[in-house]
Structure 1
Amino acid sequence: MSFTAHIRNDDQCIQTIEDHLQAVKELAGLFGSKIGFSSTAALTGLLHDMGKLCNEFNDYIYLAVHDPENAPPRGSVDHATAGAKFIYETVQKDKGNQLLAEIVSNVVMSHHSSLHDFLSPKLESPVLKRLAKDDLPQYPRVCNEFERLQFHIQTEELVKHSLEELRPFLQDSAPEKILISLTLLTKYLFSCLIDADRINTRNFELKEPHYKKPDHSLLFKHYHSTLLNYLQGKGTSKSKINHLRAKMSMQCEEAAYMPSGIYTLSIPTGGGKTLSSLRYALKHAIEHNKDRIIYIIPYTTIIEQNAEEVRNILNDDEHILEHHSNVIEDINEEKINYMQEKAPKLAKDNWDSPIIFTTMVRFLDTFFSGGTRDIRRLHNLANSIIIFDEVQSVPIECVSLFNESLNFLKKHCHTAILLCTATQPALDFVERKLDCIDGELIKNIKDVTLAFKRVDLIDKTTKKGWDTEGLADFIEEKMEHEESILCILNTKKVVRLLFDSLSERNLDADIYHLSTTMCAAHRKEILEKVKRKLDAKERVICLSTQLIEAGVDISFGSVIRSLSGLDSIAQAAGRCNRHKEKEVGNVYIINHREENLDNLKTIKVGKKITYKMLFDRKGDLSDVLSSQTIEHYFQLFYNELEDELDYYIPSLKNNMMSMLDRNKQYYQEYFHKTGKSLPLIQKSAIGTAANHFQVIQSAAHTVIVPYGEGNEIIADLNENLSIEKLSTTLKKAQQYSIGVYEHELNKLSISHGIEYLHDGRFIELKEKFYDERYGLNVEGDAEMRFLDL
C-alpha cells in the first residue's frame, strides 16, 4: 500500500510518502552539507513525515481535499511525533548518542511549529513530554511500514555518519561556547528541514523539476566585470574626493583575496561604501566560491535606494531580491483547512537568490524568532557574504544575540562578514563580544576620515532647550542664507508638529515630511522629489525622523539634528554637503524639549552621554566625529546599558541569551524542585525564547496600505491567487506596507479601519486611514490627493 503525503490542487495527483521523504532527505542533506552536517540534516528529512505512514492520515488528507467541510481539524492526526520518537528510542540504545538524539528529535517533532524547549519556564521538558506521548495508537503500525519500506536501513547509516559529523563540531567549539553553539546548530538543522520540506512540496504542487543548487559563479564574474566598467567610467573626475573613493574601492578588491572572516569597512559617509563593499563581495564570491551576497540594512528607505543603484549598475532586475517585511500574518494553522493553508506557506521567500537586500529585523528574525516562517532562510546564510550596512544600528537589546550569531556564522558556516559604517560600534567591548574582528579593509583610515571632512558641528543646545515654534523660527531664519535644510528629530510627533508649524508660514520653500508611518513606496517618491529639487537648486526644507540619516544618498546645505547618540549625529552630518558642493556645511545640534523619550530609552541614554561629551568640550567640537571619540562613546553607551544587551524578557524575569545558552536560572530551579539533574545534555528554552522574540517590540503587525499600487495589491489579495501569482504579489506588497503597533491595530479595528484578507493572513488598511502628508492616520480623517512628482 502507498501512503499519501500531498494531493495537488489542480489535478488531484498524489505524492506518496516514499517519494516525499526521499526527496526531502536529499534536499535537507544538501543544505546541511554547507556546514558539514549533510547526514544529520538528511536524517531529519527522512524522519519528518514518518507519521503519515498510516491509514488515519490517508483518510484525513483525502477528506481535507475532497470534503473539507467534514474533514477533521488540522492537526487531529499527529504525524510529527512518530519520527522524533523513533529516532530517540533508536539512538538512545547507545547512551553516547544522547546529543544526536536530542537534536534530531526536536527538529523533527517541531517542523509544524517552533522548536520545543529542552527545559521550559514551567520547569518541565516539552521535548521529553512529546517523546513520552502515549496517545499514538498508529505508532506501532507506522514503525512497521517504515521498516517494510527499508527506511530503517537508511536511518542506521545516517546515524553513523551523523555521529561522525557531530564530533569535530564539538571539538571545535570552546567549552564555554558549546551550549550556545548547539542551540544555533539545532536552529540551522531546523532551517534545512523546513526549507527542504517547503521546496519539495512547492515543486510537486507547481509540477516543477527537482531543486538543484544554483551556481552563481558565472553571474558573479559578469557582475564584477560590469561593476569595474562602471567604476572606470566614473573615474574621469580628477577631484581629490573621487581619487580617494577610487583608492578605497581598489583596497576592497585587494582585501577580497583574504580568507573569509569578520572585517570592518569604515569608509566615511559619502565615500562610496555601497559600491566598494559590493566590489569586495563580488571578488570574494568569485575567489572563495560563495553562494550569495546578502546586504543587511537598518531601514527600508536605504534598501530601496541601494538595491535600485545596484540593479541599475549591474543591469539586472531579475536576480536581485528586496525583502523588507513579512506581509503574511502568523495565524493558528489549526483554524484553517489543508487547502487554505497551502498557498501562503509555499509562497514565502527563502532567500535563494544571488544578491539579497533585507533589513536587520529580518536577519535577527531568521535566527531568533518563533515559528517556521523566518527560520527556513537560516541555512542560506552559510557560505555567503553578509554585508551589514550601518552596523551601529543593531538594536541594543539584541547586541549579544547579534554577536553570537556572527560568531557562529564565521566559525561554523564559512560565512564572510563585513561590518560597514563610518561609526563602528565597539562590539568587541561587551561581555558577549565578537570573538575576533580580523581587520579593517581600508588603510590609514584616520587620514581618510580627515580628508573627507565637509562639515562643522555647531553646538546650539541650551539649558532650557528648544520648543517647536522656536525651532521653526530658527529654520525660517537660516533659510534666508541657505537653499536647503534637513531637520532630523527623535519622535514622529514633534516632526509632525514642526511640519504643521512651518506649513502655516509663508515660506519661499517647499516643505516635506518623512516618517516610518509612510509605506516604502510613499517615502521613496518623496525622497525622489526632494532630490530633484536639490539638484535643480530649488529651495527645500525636509523634516524627518532618524530614518533618513543612515545611508540615504542625499545632500542638504545645512542639517539640524536633535540631540541623540553621537553615532546618529555623525550619520546626520553625512547628509550635509555630502558631495562637497561648498567648502564646509553647518550641522547644528539642538535639544528639543518637547520630545518625549520615556519609551525610547536608547535614544535617551545616547542623548545624555553626547550632551556630557559636548559640555566637556566647551564648544570645541573638532574631534567629536573622530574614530577614537566614536569608540569611546560606544563604550560609555554599552556600559550604561549593560543590563539591556542580552534581550531581557520582563514577563519571564529572564534574558533570552541565558535561555538559549546554559539556561542557568531554570535549571537551578528545576534541580531545587526535583532534587535531580535534567536527563538531557541540552537545557535551553529554545522555543519559549523564540516565541518571545520581537526586534521591534510593539510594531508587531504588517498592514498593506491603499497608496498607489497598494490598491491593486489589495484587490489581488481578495482573489484566489495561484502560488506563483501570490509570490509575485507579496514581493510587491512589501513596498506598500507599514508596521503597526498593537494599540494602533486595536484602535483601527474598533474604527473599522482595517480588514483581514485571505482567511486572516493579510491586513488591509482602509483609505480614510492613510494620509498623503503623514502616512498612517489612526483617526480616520486622512487626506489623499495626487502626489505631484
Structure 2
Amino acid sequence: MNYIAHIRESDRQIQTVEEHLLGVKELAEAYGEKLGVKHLTGLAGMLHDLGKYTVEFRDYITEAVTNPTSAPKRGSVDHSTAGGRLLYQLFHSKPPYNKSKALIAEIVGNAIISHHSYLQDFLSPDLESNYLHRVRDKQAKELDTFEMIIDQFYSHVMAEEEFQRYIDQAAAELDTFLMKQPSSHDEKKIMFLSKFIFSTLIDADRTNTRLFEENKENDPKLEHKQLFDQYYERLMNKMNSFKADTIINQLRADMSNQCDQFAQKPSGIYTLSIPTGGGKTLASLRYALKHASLYQKKRIIYVVPYTTIIEQNAKEIRSVLMDDYNILEHHSNVIHDSEKDDEGLDGVMNMSQKLKHAKDNWDAPIILTTMVQFLNVFYAKGNRNTRRLHNLSESIIIFDEVQKVPISCVSLFNDALNFLHAYGKSSMILCTATQPALDFVEHRLEIEPDQEIISNVDTVIESFKRVEIVDRATNETFNNNELIDFIDTTMKKCRSILVILNTKSVVKNLYKKLQEKNMGIAIYHLSTSMCAAHRHIILDKVRNDLKKGQPVICVSTQLIEAGVDISFDCVIRSLAGLDSIAQAAGRCNRHGEKDTGHVYVIDHEEENLSRLKEIKQGKQIAKTILLDLKRDKELHGGHILSRQAMEFYFKRYYTAFESSLDYSISTLEKTMVELLTETKHNYSYHKAFYQKEGKQLPLFLANSYKTAANHFEVIPDYTTSVIVPYGEGKQIIAELNGKGTIEELSRLLKTAQQFTINIYQHELQHLSQQDGIVSYLDGHIFVLKEGAYSEEYGLNLENDSLMELNIF
C-alpha cells in the first residue's frame, strides 16, 4: 500500500511518505551541518510527517484532489503529532531519563509538532504545557494506529537499530553543542538551537514539497567562492577608477584598504566607524567579499533601519557588481502568515499552499533587509520568518546604522549576534559613524577586544568635519509658521535646504504651508507613506534639481537621514537623539562642496512625542549635552558629534531605558528574555506548577516560545504590508490576481517589495471602512485601491492624525 505525502497538481503524480521524509531529512541534514547538528536536524526531517502513514490521511488527500470543488471532510487529519509522540515515548515517558535523549525529545519533538504553526510552550505563564498536551495527553483514535505508523517508519524509512544509532549521534551532537559555552547559558543556547532546528525543518519541508510540485530534482548549486571572487574583481575595478585627488578621497581610499586588510582576520563581531560620507557601503562590501572568499561564507547580508537605505545600498551595489539576479531586497513580508494551524491543508496544492511554498528563505548570495525583518527571524510569530534563520549562519552580516536598534530589542539583538558568532560561523560588522554602547548593557554584546576596523578614528572624524552645528534649541522653540519664516530667511544665504522633523503629521503640515506660500521654489515631501519606488523617483528629482543648482526645499521625516546619498547646502533638524543629529549632518555639504555647511538644531513645539518615547528621551539627553557645551566648550570632547559625546549619550540613553532593554511585556509582568530562557528551577514557577498539578513539571525545559512570539512586535503598533497601485505595482497587482505557479509567484513577490508600504491596524480598519483596500489570494496579500494612494503623499487617508511616525 502506498501512503501519500503529496499529489502533484499538474500530472497527479504521487510523492510517497517515505520519499518525502527521506528527502526532507537529506535537506535538513545539509542545513544542520552548518552548526554541527546534522543528526538533530535530520531527525526532525525524517519524523515530521510520520502521521501521514495512515489510511485516514491517504483517503483525505485523495478526496481533496479528486473532488477539488467540494471541500474535504471537516477537521484536519493530525499528522504532525506522531513524530513528537514517538520521541517522547522512547526517551521521556518513563524515568530514569537519559538527559541528552530526553532533551532531544523536547527540542526536536517540539519542532515536529509545531511545523504547521509555531514552536509550542513547554510551560506557559498560566502554567499550561501545549507540548505535553500534544505528545503525552492527546490520544490517537486507536492505539494500534500509532503502532502501525511506527511499524511503517521502521520498515520503509529507517530500521529500528539504525534509528537508535542515529539518535546516539544526535545526542553526541547535543552534548558537544552545550559544552561549547558555560552551563549557565544552557537555556539561552537551547532556545537558539530549538529555533535553528525548527528553521531547518520548515525550509527543508517547504523546499522538498516545492521541488516535487515543480518536478525538479533539486535547485541549482551556486559556487559561492567563484561568485564572490568575481564580485571582488568587479569592485576593485570600480575602486581603482576613483581618483584620490582630495584629502577626503584619500581618506576614503585608506579606510577601504583597511577593510580589505582586516578581512583576513577570523570571523567575529567588529565595529566599522566610518564617518558619514566616508564610503562605508563599498568599504564594508570590500571586507565582506574578501572575507567570504577566504572563510567560505555563503552569503552577505546588509541589515538597515530604514527601507530607504535598502534602496540606496542596493542601487550602489548593483551598479558595481553588475548583477540583479543574485541580489535580494527584502523590505517586508508581502505575504501574511495565517496565525492558524494549516495542517489540514497539507498535501493539497491550493493557492494558500503555493504562497506558503514560494521561495522566500533568504538563500540569495547578497541580501538587503531591515532590522525589523532580522529581529522577526529570531523572535516573531509565523514560521515564514523562522524559516530564514538557518541561512544567517555562515554569513557576513553588516548592520548599517546599528545605533537604530529599537531600545526594547537591545538584549534580544545582542543575544542573536552572540549566538551567530559563537555557533553560526558568522561575522558581524557594526557599521555606523555613531557607535552605540551595546557592550555596556546587562545582556552585553560580546564584541572582539580589538574590534575597530579603522585606526585613528578620532583623526578621521575630525578630517571629515564639513559642517557647523548651530544650536537654536536651548533658547527658543519653533512652530511651523515661525519655521517657514526661518526657512525663508535662510534661503537668502543658500540655495537648498533639507528640513527633518520627528512626526509625519508636522512634516505634512509644513509641506502644505510651504506650498501655499508660493515661494517659486521646488518643494518636495518624503515619508514612509510612499512606497520605495515612489520615494526613489522623488529623490531622483531632488538630486536633479540640486545638480542643476536650482533652489530646493525638501521636507522629510528621518527616513532621509541614513543611507541616502544626497547633499544640501543647509539642514534644519528638529531636536532628537545625538545619533539623529549626526545623521542629519551627513546630508549637509556631504561631499565638501563648500568650506562649511550649517546644520541648525531647533526645538519644534508642535511635535507630539507622547507616543515616541525613544525620540523624546534622546531629545532630552541631546539637550543636556548642548547645555553642557554652552557652559564649557571643553566638555564631551569639545564637540556635540565627538566620539566622547556619543559614548556619553548612549550610556545615558541605555541607562534611562534599563528596565525596557529586555522587551517588557506589561500584561504578563515578564520580559521576552525571561519567557525565552525560563528554567524549571525558577522557584515561583516550580511552586505554582506543583500547587496546581500536585507534582513537578515532568520536563527539562520550561520556555514559553509561542507566548513570547505572540507578544513580539518590533514596531509596537502592529503593521501590515500592502501593495500599492503605483507604477509597475499596478501590473504586479493584475498578475497576482490571476492564477500562477509557485515559481511565478516567487518572482512577483520579489518584485513587489519595491511597491509596498506598511500601515497600522487603525489605518487598515479605516481603509476597509472606506472601501480603499482589497485582499487577494485567499486573504494572504493586501492591495490598495487606486483612490487610496496619492502621487503626492503616498497613502491617502483623509484624517491627518492617522499620519503617525513609522521610523522603521
Any idea what the Cα deviations from partners look like across 1:341-369, whole Å, max 9, x if unmatched? 22101114111111111111111011111
Question: Residue 569 of structure 2: which of 557, 568, 573 is its match?
Answer: 557
Matched, 1:188 2:196: yes
Cα offset, 1:712, TM superposition = 1.1
Paired position in structure 2 for 1:785: none
TM-score, length-normalised on structure 1? 0.96
Partner amino acid for 2:719? A
1:564-619 residue CA offsets vs partner (Å, 9 max, x unmatched): 11111011111111100001100000010100001101001111111111112117
In structure 2, relative to structure 1, the CA distance for the partners of 1:558 and 1:661 (3 Å cut) is: same
8 A contact 1:556–1:577 mirrored in 2: yes
Change (3 A) 1:668 1:217: farther
Instruction: Confirm or deny: 8 A CA contact 2:270 2:447 kept in the other structure.
Output: no
Give the direction of change, closer, same or farther, for the CA distance of 1:748–1:73 in structure 2 (3 Å limit): farther
Q: Secondary structure at the match of 2:430?
A: strand
| Alignment pair present for 1:649 and 2:657 | no
- The one-character-per-residue Cα deviations of 1:142-180 (angstroms, maximum 9, x if unpaired) are 112112225243432221110110112111122321101
Aligned to 1:786: none
Q: Tell me what 1:3 maps to.
A: 3
Question: Is it true that 1:539 corresponds to 2:551 in the alignment?
Answer: yes
Distance 1:427 1:15, change over 3 A: same
The answer as to whether partners of 1:120 and 1:666 remain within 8 angstroms in 2 is: no
Moved more, 749-758 or 418-427: 749-758
Compute the displacement of 1:505 (Å). 1.2
Q: 1:215 and 2:223 equivalent?
A: yes
Residue of 758, 776, 782 corresponding to 1:757: 776
Letter in 1 for 2:420: L
1:714 to 2:733 alignment: yes
Match of 1:625 among 641, 651, 657: 641
Measured after TM superposition, the shift of residue 306 of structure 1 is 0.6
**Counterparts in 2 of 1:675 and 1:139: CA distance versus 1, 3 Å:** closer
Secondary structure at the counterpart of residue 498 of structure 2: strand
CA distance, structure 2, for counterparts of residue 148 and residue 219 of structure 1 = 43
- Please name the residue that 2:460 is paired with: 448
Aligned 1:638-787 pairs, distance under 5 A: 638-662=654-678, 664=682, 666-667=685-686, 669-671=688-690, 673-674=692-693, 676-779=695-798
2:474–2:626 CA contact under 8 A, matched in 1: no
Q: How many residues align?
A: 780
Alignment of 1:54-133 (within 5 A): 54-72=54-72, 76-92=76-92, 94-96=97-99, 97-132=101-136, 133=138
Within 2, Cα distance between the matches of 1:333 and 1:673? 28
Deviation at residue 375 of structure 1 after TM alignment: 0.6
**Residue 269 of structure 1 aligns with which residue?**
276
What's 1:311 paired with? 318
User: Residue 667 of structure 2 aligns to which amino acid in structure 1?
Assistant: S
Distance 1:647 1:520 in 2: 29
Match of 2:150 among 113, 133, 143: 143
Q: Does 1:49 align with 2:49?
A: yes
* Structure 2 residue aligned with 1:414: 425
**Cα distance in 2 for residues equivalent to 1:155 and 1:368:** 32
Deviation of the 1:538 alpha carbon: 1.2
CA distance in 1, matches of 2:776, 2:782: 6
- Say what the alpha-carbon RMSD is for the aligned residues: 1.7
Look up the match of 1:173: 181
User: Residue 237 of structure 1: CA displacement?
Assistant: 3.7
Q: Distance in 1 between matches of 2:707 and 2:27?
A: 28
CA contact (8 A) 1:5 1:15 kept: yes
Q: Is the 1:699–1:739 Cα contact (8 Å) retained in structure 2?
A: no
- Report what 2:300 is aligned to: 293
Q: Deviations over 1:607-646 (max 9, x none)?
A: 1111111112117595111111101100000000111111
Quote the Cα distance in structure 2 between the aligned partners of 1:75 and 1:601: 46
The answer as to whether partners of 1:217 and 1:289 remain within 8 angstroms in 2 is yes
In the other structure, the counterpart of 1:17 is 17
Which segment drifts farther, 706-715 or 676-685?
676-685
Q: Deviations along 1:186-209, whole A, 9 cap, x unmatched?
A: 000100110001111111111122
- 2:266 pairs with one of 251, 259, 263: 259
Residue 508 (1) aligns with residue 520 (2) = yes
- Contact 1:64 1:338 survives alignment (8 Å): no
Q: 1:381-392 maps to which residues of 2 (within 5 A)?
A: 381-392=392-403
- Cα distance in 2, alignment partners of residues 705 and 366 from structure 1: 25
Residue 495 of structure 1: which of 482, 503, 507 is its match?
507
State the Cα distance separating 1:49 from its structure 2 match: 0.6
CA positional deviation for 1:128: 1.0
Q: Aligned-pair distance for 1:479?
A: 0.7
Q: Counterparts of 1:70 and 1:506 in 2: how far apart (Å)?
A: 63
Decide whether the 8 Å contact of 2:18 with 2:157 is kept in 1.
no
Measured against aligned partners, the alpha-carbon deviations of 1:357-402 in whole angstroms (never above 9, x if no partner) come to 1111111011111121111110001111100000001111110000
Q: Quick one: distance in 2 between partners of 1:75 and 1:532?
A: 60
Pick from 134, 139, 147: which aligns with 1:134? 139
Matched, 1:228 2:236: yes
Gap runs ≥5 in structure 2:
801-808
Question: Per-residue displacement from partner, 1:504-538 (whole Å, max 9, x unpaired)?
Answer: 11213211000011111111110111111111111
8 Å Cα contact 1:661-1:684 kept in structure 2: yes
Partner AA of 2:134 in structure 1: R
Q: TM-score, normalised by structure 2?
A: 0.94
- CA drift of 1:91 comes to 2.7
For residues 146 and 221 of structure 2, the distance between their equivalents in structure 1, rounded to whole angstroms, comes to: 35
Aligned structure 1 segments of 4 or more residues deviating by more than 6 angstroms: none
Question: Are 1:347 and 2:358 counterparts?
Answer: yes
Q: Work out the CA distance in 2 between the residues paired with 1:111 and 1:668.
A: 32
Is this contact kept in 2: 1:769–1:779, CA < 8 A?
no
**SS of 2:564 mapped into structure 1:** coil
The residue aligned with 1:158 is 166
Is residue 768–residue 780 contact of structure 1 (8 Å, CA) maintained in 2? no
Amino acid at match of 1:411: A
Give the share of equivalent positions with the same residue, in percent: 51
Partner of 1:432: 443
